[in-house]
Amino acid sequence: DISHESPVYSPAQMEKGGIHYCKHPTVSKLPPTPDETRDFIALVDRLQKEIDDLMEKREDPSLPRPLVGVHCHYGYNRTGFLIVCYLIEQLDYPVKDAVAEFNRCRPPGIRHDHFIDELHARYAGIKRVPTL
């Protein structure tokens, strides 16, 4: 849960149902900072390692692999931004391909241009143009 707000669901109920809940708050309408991005990537990597360890210990390997779910309030801008950052940093996607993959999987994709601009500035070395 990368929203800054309290979720509309009960994290305790999710835990009771076998869903591990993690809170990684980010501010609405702003691209996550480099520090927030770094911490998000570290969190996902840690969760993936926990899943790998679980899969090795399972007696029945035919059971589906657990997934990592990410959401903010609507699931487009902050969610898309951080998932795209993960694709770029951990899976070596080029920026354009990572954005296209998120858009394909979560149409219509990242909605706010300033999130896309920040991705290009951060990862493609495109300099920001000063605004008036």
Count CB neighbours of 73 within 10 A: 17
Q: Which is catalytic among the residues 22, 72, 85, 105?
A: 72
Between CA 4 and CA 27 the distance in angstroms is: 6
> Cα–Cα distance between 77 and 29 in angstroms, integer?
8
Contact in structure between 72 and 78 (CB atoms under 8 Å): yes
- CA-to-CA distance for 88 and 19, rounded, in angstroms? 27
Is there a catalytic annotation at residue 85?
no
* Separation CA 79–CA 77 (nearest Å): 5
CA distance 9 to 27: 19
Residues identified as active-site: 72
